[in-house]
Amino acid sequence: MSAAVAEALRLPLSEDLSGFIALLQRLRVPCRVSEEGDQQVLRVPAAVVEQVRDLYARYPAGDSTLVAEQPARRRGGLGTALRANPFTSAILLLTLVVAGLTLLGENFTVIRWLTFTDFRIDGEYAYFATLEQGLAAGQWWRLITPIFVHFGILHLAMNGMWYWELGRRIEFRQGAWMLLALTLLFGLVSNFAQYLFGGPGIFGGLSGVLYGLLGHCWLFQKLAPDNAYRLPPGVVVLMLIWLVVCLSGVIEVLSFGTLAIANAAHVGGLVAGCVTGIIGGLLARKASGR
């Protein structure tokens, strides 16, 4: 921080400044907080003291929309948005790498190492190992890796777009480690659900994780309102309608059986996300004293 600093705010120690500090950091405003007796003092460069005070008057808890809803519009464009959401970007990059290695679902030599259970193709038939056999062989990565396998450019594009939309919100609001934990949890639950209810098979994609992230943001926002988790109007309704349509079997009928939907993965992810959203929302609500 520059030597020319000045006091911008003096507040009780009980005041939570973490959200506002995060906002200043994302706006690249140097700042320092120190404790003086029973108060905390925020100091910033003297040239921006008045602007910081005005910003605090408007957004004492931080304005999540500056990062969560409009990252591409900030100075630096997409590159800045990617750097501001490193874990979300890393997951999408890994997904793109896997899409290239698997040729979007055409390279079964690679896909067989990423599916929930191993398989071999003999003529027109596929023979699958059991989950127990895979785990006994130490292939624990299979519990998660199906989420990175996509079949076709549309499947990849839609899932990638929604992971970017939902993942960066959670990374901003609750941090990269929470997004990592939720991604792994929802991936594990959705993959297990699909295996248990659909049996051995070749399935994949981020959609189960996405329904988990959707449920998490939706119910977290209901219990502890925050701009970061305020989804565009109609998004939750649209996603739930799509889930019902998929469950009805209409998609399989219209595609003449060429397109299979991992319905159990979607439902499993959504249920898990609703549970974490309720728990997280209640904890955040308690922490804020509401």
Q: What average pLDDT does the segment 24-39 reach? A: 84
Confidence of residue 95 (pLDDT cuts 50, 70, 90): very high
- Same domain? For 130 and 83 the reply is yes
pLDDT of residue 274: 97
* pLDDT above 70: residue 81: yes
Percent residues over pLDDT 70 in the chain: 89
Bigger pLDDT: 167 or 83? 167
* pLDDT above 60: residue 164: yes
Residue 48, in any domain of the structure: yes
- Same domain? For 32 and 130 the reply is no
Residue 44, in any domain of the structure: yes
- Same domain? For 264 and 147 the reply is yes
The CA distance from 42 to 25, in Å, is 13
* pLDDT above 60: residue 71: no
* pLDDT above 70: residue 249: yes
- Same domain? For 242 and 176 the reply is yes
- Same domain? For 142 and 242 the reply is yes
pLDDT of residue 252: 65
Q: What average pLDDT does the segment 144-161 reach? A: 95
- Same domain? For 167 and 129 the reply is yes
- Same domain? For 91 and 221 the reply is yes
The angle at the Cα of 30, spanning 28 to 33, to the nearest 5 degrees, equals: 130
Q: Write the CATH number for 30.
A: 3.30.70.2080
Whether 2 sits among the annotated catalytic residues: the reply is no
Number of structural domains (the chain) is: 2
**Identity of the amino acid at 197:** F
Whether 266 sits among the annotated catalytic residues: the reply is yes
Percent residues over pLDDT 90 in the chain: 53
- Same domain? For 97 and 163 the reply is yes
Q: What is the pLDDT of residues 181-221, one digit of tens each?
A: 999 999 999 999 999 998 899 999 999 999 999 999 999 99
pLDDT averaged over the chain?
86
pLDDT of residue 69: 45
- Same domain? For 39 and 110 the reply is no
Q: Write the CATH number for 254.
A: 1.20.1540.10
Residue 283, in any domain of the structure: yes
Q: What is the DSSP letter of 35?
A: E
* pLDDT above 60: residue 271: yes
pLDDT of residue 290: 57
Residue 65, in any domain of the structure: no
Question: What are the start-end ranges of the H helices in the chain?
Answer: 18-26, 49-58, 65-68, 77-84, 86-101, 108-111, 131-136, 153-174, 176-198, 207-223, 235-248, 250-254, 263-288
Bigger pLDDT: 210 or 56? 210
Q: Given the residues 150, 155, 207, 216, select the one marked as catalytic.
A: 207
- Per mean pLDDT, which range of 62-71, 74-83, 242-251 is the poorest? 62-71
- Same domain? For 249 and 198 the reply is yes
- Per mean pLDDT, which range of 112-116, 237-241, 271-275 is the poorest? 237-241
What is the domain range of residue 35? 5-58
pLDDT of residue 112: 95
- Same domain? For 9 and 116 the reply is no
- Same domain? For 119 and 237 the reply is yes
Q: Given the residues 150, 155, 216, 266, select the one marked as catalytic.
A: 266
